[in-house]
Structures are given as structure tokens and as C-alpha cells.
């Protein structure tokens, strides 16, 4: 400020010098201007000296230094220094201002970039939230469509707080109570539960609060007085920290299933009683029938022995019919007893050698095999899980069947093979007999089902007995046959890789 005032006073003084001595005045002005241009103290002194001594000779060739007043020269020098100082300060302030502007502009740009990035991130977050909300809305809509379309009650509860988050409309159909009542009073569903089942259900609710899954069957009484059976399953849902977040459950109306179960139970009990009565009847009847049959057979033999001459040819023939009938009746009774024993009790099963069972069957039929001149062969047979006595019966009945239905005039040939699989073994008993037509393949396994009547000896119980035994062993039996080309009776029994270990043990 002081430099500016002094500079103004000096310029006014110099203007008064221009009238008597214009050369000196112009030199003063040029010196001041040069100092202002160069700026600074050193620059101002140099510019002032150079301009003051050079300008007069350039402007006025007749200029003489003697004409210069020392006071005026000193004043000019002072003014030049002040002017140069003012100019230097201005330039310094301008530089500082430019630096401040550049720094401000740089900060503005950086802040603008930060704001732009923040805005983009915020926009992405808004878009992601919008997409998440849209997906959540679609998911909730699908959930409601699914929950409301099923007949079972679907519910979500906050077990810790005792609140109901969701209950499907099926609750109103099954319980006969509005859903809003459960939202208002979450434990109100307990009021409908049968008093005998309520303590058990209340204990299940407490287990739900402890984060345990529950499965309960209980009865409810609807407002109209009807009783319904409910099958209720619940599952806990935990958050990432392991804290119980909610409980999800499904309550299904199983009243119809319970009625069916009760009916089946009653039928099973009635069937068990009927079977027991039937088994008892068969056992008692067979024993009671054997006594008169023995009497008939004994008296028939007495008649034949005491009165051989009094009986004519017809009498002896009739007596033979009586004896044959008694023998056949005795065989039928024996077969019925064997069948009733298979049906009535389960024989103990263990790992046995099928080849040993076949050997015992062949030994029991040794006389029949010799009489029929039959040839019986077999491949190596595996160990199976079965009853040794009942497996012997199966082999014995199938061998007898093969010899009875042999082709006339051709010795029976029977071959037994086995085809082990992973968990079962299929046995095949193949003969060269007369064969069986396809329409009889199922019929022959019925009780008393005989295809050739009295022409072939037998009772019609053997194959039925085989079927019952195989079914008791959780297997199956069937026949593959073509008339005139023999038959192959197949049956499967449990077997497996552990059979060898069991055999060694």
C-alpha cells in the first residue's frame, strides 16, 4: 500500500519535470516501466540504470548527462525499486493464486471422480436391491401358490418368540377355524387337540423351541364335532451362527389312512383267527380221519385174507378200489398236514448246502428212482439261506413230479442246476417229461390242481407245498415248459457273497 502511494506521488512529480526537460522526464518514465517489467530489486536497479542512461541518447541525440539532476535521479531509482517491488508482489500473488486454483481444480476433479464412483455403486446397489425385491416377490408368490395348492397345512413359526409367520389356508379346511385366530393366538390350535393327545403335543412344541425336529400323530376335534387324525412333522431352521431362526412344519389329515389301517388291522386279526381255526381244524380233522381210514384199510385186508374164495372177481375189484381209495385219502391227509405245518409256523433258516439237501431227497426217493430207472444229475450247487427240511421237501416233490410225468417208455432224465446272482440264487430242475401247456403254468401250483386226474398217482398238493415253502423264503417259483419237450421248474432263494463265509464257518 505504501509503495503504491509513493509511486503515485513520484509519477505526479515526474510529470511536472516533463515540461522544462522532456528528455529526462521520458528517461524517468522508461526506467520506471522497465523496473516494473523486470520486477524485483536487482532487476529493477539494472533496468532503471540501463534505461535512464540509454533512453536520452536514443531519444535526444544532443542530450548531456550534466543536465541530469542527482536528486531526481535518486528519486527515479527509488520509484523504480518500489514499482518493481509492487510488480514482484503481484506476480507472486498471481502464482500463488494459480497454484491454489490448480490445487482446487485437482481436488474438485478427485472429488468428482469419487462422487461418480459412489453414485455408480449406489446405482448398482439400488438395481441389485430392486432385482432382489423382484425375485423375492416372485419367490414369495410361488411359495404361496405352492403352499395354498396342497391339501396339507404348511406353517412357519418363530418358536422362541411364540409367533406364527405363516399358516396355509388348509388350516381352515382341516381345523375348521379361521387362520387369523392362529395369528392372534399362536397356541390356540392346542384347544382343538384331543385331551388324551394334548400333553404329548405340548411336549413336542417344547422340543420345537429347543431346536429339535418332531413327528407326532394326534387327534383334533373340529367345531362341528368331527374328529380328525393329524400327522404333524416339523423341522428347525438355523441361521449361520447356529441360532434357531424358525420352525417349518407340515400337518396332514390322515383320517382316511387311519380308517384304512384300522380296517386292515381288524381284517388281519380276523384272518389270523380264521387261519388259526383252519389250521386247528385241518390238524384235528386229519388226525380224526386217519383213525377210520386205518379201520377201513384193516377190515379190507381182513376180508381179503379170510374170505378169498367167497369174493368173485367183481368183489375183489371193489375191494381193491376201497384199498386204493384209503391209500389215496391217507396221502391227501398227510399232504394237508405238511401244508398246514408250512403255513402255520416259520421253520428256522440258516446257511445250508443245497447240494446236501438234494442228496437227502435222492436218498429218500432211492427206491422210486430205481423203479423208474431215472437218471438224476446236478451241477455244483451253492449255499443258500433256507430251512434244510423244507428245501429237502422242495427237491423231493420236484423229483417225484418229474418221474410221475415222464414220457411213456422213456426213462426219466432230470438235471438240477443253479445260477447264483448278487443276492439270490435261481435253481432249475429240468426233465424230459411230457411237458405242460402254457395256460396251465400258473394253475398247477394250486392245491388239489391235477392236470391228468386219476391217470397219474398223486394228491395235487406237492407243487402247492413247494410254492408255500419258496414264498416263506421270500423267493418265487415258476415253470418253463413246452408240451412234448419236458419242463423246467425254477425257484429262487436268498444267497450272496457271504454264503462262502457262512459255509466255511
pLDDT of residue 105: 87
pLDDT for the residue numbered 423 = 77
Q: Which of these, 301, 331, 339, 300, lies nearest to 457 by C-alpha position? A: 331
Q: What is the model's pLDDT at position 94?
A: 81
Nearest residue to 152 (alpha-carbon basis) of 263, 257, 262, 265: 257
Q: How far apart are CA 50 and CA 56, in angstroms?
A: 11
Using N-to-C axis directions, what is the helix angle for 354-364 and 388-404, rounded to 10°? 50
Q: Which stretches in the chain have pLDDT values below 50?
A: 1-9, 12, 14-15, 17-19, 23, 40-41, 452-453, 497-505
Q: pLDDT value at position 241?
A: 85
Domains of the chain (ranges; CATH) run: 2-111 (no CATH), 150-253 (3.30.450.20), 260-339 (1.10.287), 347-504 (3.30.565.10)
How many Å apart are CA 443 and CA 169, to the nearest integer?
Answer: 54
Beta strands in 323-412 (DSSP E): 350-353, 375-378, 383-386
- The whole-number pLDDT of residue 284 equals 67
Q: List, in order, residues 6 or more apart from 130 with CB less than 8 Å away.
A: none
Residue 199 pLDDT: 92
What pLDDT, on a 0 to 100 scale, did the predictor assign at position 60? 52
In this prediction, residue 265 carries a pLDDT of 87
Amino acid at each position: 500500500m505504501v509503495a503504491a502511494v509513493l509511486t503515485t506521488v513520484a509519477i505526479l512529480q515526474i510529470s511536472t519535470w516533463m515540461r522544462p526537460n522532456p528528455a529526462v522526464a521520458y528517461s524517468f518514465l522508461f526506467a520506471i516501466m522497465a523496473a516494473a517489467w523486470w520486477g524485483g530489486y536487482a532487476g529493477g536497479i539494472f533496468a532503471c540504470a540501463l534505461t535512464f542512461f540509454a533512453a536520452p541518447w536514443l531519444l535526444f541525440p544532443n542530450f548531456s548527462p550534466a543536465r541530469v539532476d542527482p536528486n531526481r535521479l535518486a528519486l527515479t531509482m527509488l520509484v523504480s525499486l518500489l514499482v518493481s517491488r509492487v510488480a514482484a508482489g503481484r506476480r507472486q500473488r498471481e502464482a500463488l493464486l494459480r497454484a491454489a486454483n490448480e490445487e482446487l481444480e485437482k481436488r474438485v476433479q478427485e472429488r468428482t471422480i469419487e462422487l461418480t464412483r459412489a453414485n455408480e455403486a449406489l446405482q448398482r446397489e439400488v438395481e441389485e436391491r430392486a432385482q432382489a425385491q423382484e425375485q423375492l416377490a416372485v419367490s414369495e408368490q410361488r411359495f404361496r401358490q405352492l403352499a395354498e395348492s396342497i391339501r396339507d397345512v404348511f406353517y412357519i413359526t418363530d418358536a422362541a418368540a411364540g409367533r406364527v409367520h405363516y399358516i396355509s389356508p388348509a388350516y381352515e379346511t382341516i381345523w375348521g377355524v379361521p387362520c387369523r385366530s392362529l395369528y392372534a393366538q399362536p397356541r390356540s390350535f392346542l384347544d382343538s387337540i384331543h385331551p388324551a393327545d394334548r400333553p404329548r403335543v405340548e411336549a413336542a412344541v417344547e422340543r420345537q423351541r429347543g431346536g429339535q425336529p418332531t413327528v407326532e400323530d394326534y387327534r383334533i376335534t373340529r367345531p362341528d364335532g368331527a374328529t380328525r387324525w393329524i400327522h404333524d412333522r416339523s423341522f428347525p431352521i438355523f441361521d449361520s451362527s447356529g441360532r434357531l431362526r424358525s420352525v417349518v412344519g407340515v400337518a396332514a389329515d390322515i383320517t382316511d389312512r387311519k380308517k384304512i389301517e384300522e380296517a386292515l388291522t381288524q381284517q388281519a386279526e380276523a384272518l389270523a383267527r380264521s387261519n388259526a381255526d383252519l389250521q386247528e381244524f385241518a390238524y384235528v380233522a386229519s388226525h380224526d380221519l386217519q383213525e377210520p381210514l386205518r379201520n377201513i384199510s384193516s377190515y379190507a385186508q381182513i376180508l381179503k385174507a379170510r374170505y378169498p374164495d367167497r369174493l368173485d372177481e367183481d368183489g375183489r375189484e371193489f375191494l381193491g378200489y376201497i384199498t386204493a381209495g384209503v391209500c389215496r385219502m391217507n396221502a391227501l391227509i398227510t399232504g394237508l398236514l405238511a401244508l398246514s405245518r408250512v403255513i402255520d409256523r416259520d421253520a428256522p433258516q440258516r446257511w445250508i448246502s443245497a447240494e446236501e439237501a438234494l442228496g437227502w431227497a435222492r436218498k429218500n426217493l432211492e427206491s422210486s428212482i430205481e423203479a423208474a430207472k431215472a437218471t438224476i444229475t446236478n451241477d455244483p450247487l451253492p449255499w443258500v439261506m433256507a430251512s434244510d427240511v423244507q428245501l429237502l421237501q422242495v427237491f423231493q416233490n420236484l423229483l417225484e413230479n418229474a418221474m410221475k410225468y415222464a414220457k411213456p417208455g422213456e426213462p426219466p432224465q432230470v438235471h438240477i442246476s443253479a445260477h447264483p446272482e448278487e443276492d439270490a440264487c435261481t435253481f432249475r430242475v429240468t426233465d424230459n417229461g411230457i411237458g405242460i401247456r402254457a395256460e396251465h403254468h400258473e394253475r398247477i401250483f394250486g392245491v388239489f390242481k391235477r392236470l391228468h386226474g386219476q391217470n397219474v398217482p398223486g394228491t395235487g398238493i406237492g407243487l402247492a407245498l413247494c410254492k408255500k415253502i419258496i414264498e416263506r423264503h421270500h423267493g418265487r417259483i415258476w415253470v418253463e415248459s413246452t408240451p412234448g419237450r419236458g419242463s423246467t421248474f425254477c425257484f429262487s432263494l436268498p444267497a450272496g457273497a457271504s454264503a462262502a463265509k457262512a459255509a466255511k464257518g
